Amino acid sequence: MSPVKALALYNEFSELTPDGEIGDEIINKLSDRLVSVDLLDQAAQLLNYQVSFRLKGIEKGRVASRLAAVYLFDRQTEKCIKVLNDSKFNLLPEDLKLERLFLRARAHLLEEDYEKVLELLKNNNQKESFIIRAEVYWKNKNWVKTVSELDKALNLRWQSSEPLSVEERNQVIQMTVSLALLDDWDNLILIRERWLNLMRSSEDAEPFDILTLNPDTESMDFRKVAGRIAQIDTLNEFMKRYNKN
């Protein structure tokens, strides 16, 4: 059954939805299917019903986080932040608190409230914090701090033989662009030594060469690569990771 037909069937017989965990699971699964086909408004309506009328305590906080994520994915930042504010609960588990922190930080990032983002993530050493802070510094053209945060996000990934994900390749390219703009030859050489084996077998082998072999920041090739990185929507990658959890 398609998500649209499933929604129509639910709407027709919604009064028959069981109370308790079984009913909540039905709504959660249906909302997940709606999100998978970009029916975000409909998914938000279902989750909002749960948060407003069916749930309390930790489970309300968990589903409210899912609702906030749907609003965030739909770029409705004010609604995202409001849902998080309205569903605060001191006894939420630490992993859920962290999840909600990143949702809030991402919402403020979309609003370009960079000071608030950095305030929220101050002293937080989770990988997601490094990625979000790197985006703040990138947008502010602080190339030194961009490189520092991305280096911490990638950590020792260069020592692995596992192929890089698209997101990881973009982060490596973003580091090299930043270093080229800084005219930091020593670290460009280091980046090439560390990442060459993984990058040369990827779709980004040519851009990586452009950026690490005598890069000319005024050339059309450099500008093309830098422009591609500047246009990357990191929210989509964040949502992919969020949906896997």
DSSP one-letter string for 211-229: HHSS--TTSHHHHHHHHHH
pLDDT at 148: 97
Is the overall model pTM greater than 0.85, yes or no? Answer: no
Tell me the C-alpha to C-alpha distance, in Å, between residue 159 and each of 137, 169, 185, 193: 26, 14, 22, 11
State residue 90's pLDDT score. 82
Burial (0-12, 13-18, 19+ Cβ within 10 Å), 18: exposed
Q: How many other C-beta atoms are found inside a 10 Å radius of the C-beta of residue 27?
A: 20
Q: Which pLDDT score is estimated for 16? A: 41
Look up residue 164 and give its DSSP letter: P
pLDDT of residue 240: 75
Phi and psi torsions of 164, nearest 5°: -75, 145
Rounded-to-integer distance, Cα 55 and Cα 70, Å: 18
Q: CA-to-CA distance for 166 and 161, rounded, in angstroms? A: 15
The C-alpha atoms of residue 99 and residue 105 are separated, in whole angstroms, by 10
Task: Give the per-residue pLDDT at 7.
Answer: 53
pLDDT of residue 15: 46
Tell me the two tokens of residue 8.
């129509």
**C-beta of residue 143 within 8 angstroms of C-beta of residue 178:** yes
Q: According to the model, what pLDDT value does residue 84 have?
A: 95
- Taking alpha carbons only, the member of 189, 148, 187, 190 closest to residue 171 is 148
**pLDDT at residue 10, as a whole number:** 46
* pLDDT value of position 225: 82
- The stretches in the chain having pLDDT less than 50 are 9-10, 12-16, 18
